């Protein structure tokens, strides 16, 4: 199984539906830049409790070792920029990110493989880790996580679920 570097949004989305363990089952190593970790743990108190993030010991939280690429720091927020920078530093070419601008920069400028939360759910269904992509996507949306309808429809089509 491969390694992946994760951004804040997908971690929160998967936590909100109590399915963060999918990452542990799909990947040998899950990396978080310290900036992503800090975004999560310095959130409002009720969010820290809801996501139960502090109890997870299988994330590899790493500090960046090199100065941030100026392109990243000027056009992306610290979480997305750190994910791209860390993946380049440690040689992990696959990242988990939902934010459109960050995904485009990661793919087109840095040549990274970018997947989103919907892909994680599709892969989890194919690995028999979950029974329904549709139910979990709608649960994420009920918890305030936005997913474009085109993404939902493509994911459901791939796993032969009807909307």
**Rounded to whole angstroms, what are the CA distances from 104 to 10, 24, 35, 72, 80?**
16, 26, 20, 12, 11
Q: Is 95 part of any domain?
A: yes
Q: Which helix (H) or strand (E) element contains residue 3?
A: strand 3-6
How many domains is the chain partitioned into structurally?
Answer: 1
- pLDDT tens digit string along 120-159? 999 999 999 999 999 999 999 998 888 999 999 999 999 9
Q: Is 138 part of any domain?
A: no
| Domain hosting residue 77, numbered range | 3-130
Q: How many CB atoms lie within 10 A of CB 65?
A: 9
Q: Is 162 part of any domain?
A: no
Q: Is 122 part of any domain?
A: yes
CATH number of the domain that residue 91 is part of: 3.40.50.1010
What's the sign of the alpha-carbon dihedral 140, 46, 54, 81?
Answer: positive
Provide the edge-to-edge strand list for the sheet that holds 94-96: 59-62, 29-33, 3-6, 94-96, 113-115
Say if residue 44's pLDDT is above 60. no
pTM recorded for the entire structure: 0.91
Q: Is 109 part of any domain?
A: yes
């Amino acid at each position: 199984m491969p390694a992946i570097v994760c951004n804040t949004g997908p971690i929160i989305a998967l936590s909100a539906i109590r399915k963060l363990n999918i990452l542990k089952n799909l990947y040998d190593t899950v990396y978080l830049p310290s900036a992503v970790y800090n975004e999560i743990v310095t959130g409002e108190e009720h969010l820290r409790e809801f996501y139960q993030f502090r109890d997870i010991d299988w994330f590899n939280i790493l500090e960046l070792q090199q100065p941030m690429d100026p392109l990243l720091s000027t056009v992306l927020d610290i979480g997305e920029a750190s994910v791209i920078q860390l993946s380049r530093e440690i040689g992990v070419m696959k990242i988990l990110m939902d934010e459109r601008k960050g995904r485009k920069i990661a793919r087109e400028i840095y040549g990274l493989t970018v997947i989103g939360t919907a892909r994680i759910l599709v892969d989890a269904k194919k690995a028999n880790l979950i029974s329904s992509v549709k139910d979990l996507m709608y649960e994420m949306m009920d918890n305030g996580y936005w997913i474009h309808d085109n993404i939902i429809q493509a994911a459901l089509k791939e796993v032969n679920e009807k909307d």
